[in-house]
Amino acid sequence: MSVTAGSTPNSAWIKYWGNRNDALRLPMADSFSMTLDSPTVEITLDHADVLSVRSFNPDGSEKELGAVHIQRFGKTLELVKQYLRTLGVEDALPASALITVRSQIPPAVGLASSSAVFSCLARAIQGLILPAIELTDEQTSVLARLGSGSAARSIFGGFSALLAGESDAIGSAYGRQYADEHHWALYNVILVPSMHEKKVGSTEGHPTAHTSPHYAARVQAIRTRRQRECIDAVLTKDFEKLQHVVEEDCIDMHHVMRTSTPPLDYLTEDTHRITRDITELRRSEHLPVFYTMDAGPTVQLLCTEEARDRVLAFARAQEGCALFEAKTGPGACLIP
């Protein structure tokens, strides 16, 4: 029997950065995002005696996967088994699996492809083990988190959080949906100034967060105020409030990154120019648009339908940048 699932990345508005337990990806603070409708990843999961992973590019050609990537899938399956043991169904998952990944995500697009891949894998595992246990979406989001923290949020459509929890229990951090994809149609115009692979991946970056003298204040701000403000802004569709809190959190995360040991500076001159220019355009034309950046120079411009054409025109005028567009999406699902 084989199972196929599909999923997409998400746009992080309150950023997940730093763990209380790196091995289990138990975050220090909650995070929040909008799930996108594209680009998509499909994963087919088959029973197999040994772990093997095949990966195909958008053009259908097969991608050579490095040992590090294959090990990450193996490690994730091990952790998933560990979690399933706590639910009393450790044997639901076969000894090993053939994982076939078909990705429409251009390499180094600057959108966490790991969030799409591991939410997709989690949904496929949920489908594969259905005869033994019917996992809830929150439980499925734990499977996703064990592969990539941000992936826990892509299990759901629309607007969702990764709730950090408190204990060291493997299932203590999980995703939760606050509104589905029909609640609010927002557009994400994604500008990629550089297609070079990023130097330090998020997984290596998270453990450095604690070395920044500004990290404790960041965690405190999210716990006491920012996460709540972001959720409220989304639920009441208050775009201006959302703009303030998302940009504040983005600037704050990059401040923590730059002041960590070793310092991580993911933003380039292009990033700074684009954010400066869009801020000016927002002011002069009263445009509902805000920016956010993850662990790379890519700028995401989030806007409402009314601002979309203007933001697209702005984006097309950025020389040397690749351009992608996405909107609010439905999250990881099984493909019959």
CB of 293 to ligand DP6, least distance (A): 8
β-sheet with 322-327: strand ranges across: 289-292, 299-303, 187-192, 322-327
Residues 6+ apart with CB under 8 A from 208: 257, 260, 261, 262, 264
Instruction: Verify cis geometry, omega within 30 degrees of 0, for the bond prior to 39.
Output: yes
Phi-psi region of 188 (alpha: psi -120 to 50; beta: other; left: phi over 0): beta
CB of 317 to ligand DP6, least distance (A): 27
Piece of the chain touching ligand DP6 by CB under 6 A; list 55-63, 79-87, 108-116, 168-176: 108-116
- Residue 15 tokens read as 């950023």
> Which CB atom, from 92 or from 152, has the smaller least distance to ligand DP6?
152
Q: Please identify which residue in 8, 18, 24, 25 interacts with ligand DP6, judged by CB under 6 A.
A: 25
By the rule CB under 6 A, 16 interacts with ligand DP6: yes
By the rule CB under 6 A, 112 interacts with ligand DP6: yes
Backbone angles phi, psi at 248, to 5 degrees: -60, -45
Binding mask 171-210 for ligand DP6 (x = CB under 6 A): -------------------------------xx--x----
By the rule CB under 6 A, 129 interacts with ligand DP6: no
CB of 203 to ligand DP6, least distance (A): 3
Q: What is the distance in angstroms between the CA of the first residue and the CA of the last residue of the chain? A: 12
Q: Please identify which residue in 40, 119, 148, 318 interacts with ligand DP6, judged by CB under 6 A.
A: 148
User: Cα separation of 195 and 112, whole Å?
Assistant: 13
Binding residues (CB under 6 A) for ligand DP6: these are: 12, 15-17, 25, 31, 112, 114-115, 148-150, 202-203, 206, 294-295
